[in-house]
Amino acid sequence: MNDDKNYYIQLNSKVEKMLKTSEFLGSGHNGIVYLLPNNRVIKIFKNKKVCQGEYNIFVKTRKSKYFPKVYEHGPYYIVRDFASGKRLDKYIKKNGINKKISLNIIKLIEEFSKLKFNRLDIRCKDLYLMDDFSINVIDPKNNYSKIVIYPRHLMKGLNNLGVIDEFLSVVQVERPKTYELWNFRFKQYLEENIK
C-alpha cells in the first residue's frame, strides 16, 4: 500500500469487527481493499481527503449502472458492492478485445459525460468486465476536479495491450465525431511522448 510504514489510521470498533471477517484483496497508492462476507468490500484510505473525494463521486453516480452501490463510509473508509468479473487489462491481455467490449467502453465514457465528469478518462485496471461484457468502475478519482476531454489513460492502456487500432475502428464506425477527437488527441499524445 505504501512504502511509509510509519502511518497509523484510527478505525472504530465496527470497522475493526468487519476486518476480522474479511479477506485481503489488494492494495494501491491510496488504500487497501478487503472482501467482506456479504459480497461487499471495504476500502481503507490513507488520506481522509482522498476518501471523501471518492465517496463524493460515488454519491453523484449512485444511479449509474457502472458504479458500485455504497453502503456506508467514514473518514478513512468506504463500504461498497464488490465488483466481480475480470480486470479489463488482464482480460484483454489473455483474450483480446471485441466489438461488444469496445462499444461498452464508448458507452462508459459517454456516461461519464452525462454525469458531468470533467475527466472523461479512467485506467484499464480500474474497470472490471462481467461475463456479458458489461463494465464496472471500481476506483474513480478526480472525475470532477481534473479536466481530461478524452480517455487518454484508457487508450494508452489499450495501446500497450496492442488493441488500440481495433478499438478505434469500432469508435470510427459507431461514433465518427468522437473518433475524430479521440484519434487526433491520442496521436498528438503519442507524438509528444515518444520523443
pLDDT in tens, 75-101: 999 999 998 899 999 999 999 999 999
Per-position b or e across 2-39, b if 16+ CB within 10 A of its CB? eeeeeeebebeeebeebbeebeeeeeeebbbbbbbeee
- Is the confidence at residue 30, as pLDDT, over 80? yes
Tell me the DSSP string of 95-128.
Answer: H---HHHHHHHHHHHHHHHHTT-SB----GGGEE
pLDDT at position 5 is 52
Alpha-carbon torsion 154, 159, 164, 167, what sign? negative
Which range (15-19, 78-82, 127-131, 177-181) has the least confidence?
15-19
State pTM to two decimals: 0.88
Which range (4-13, 37-46, 80-89, 184-193) has the least confidence?
4-13
Classify residue 30 by its DSSP letter: S
User: Rounded to the nearest 5°, which phi and psi values hold at 140?
Assistant: -75, 140
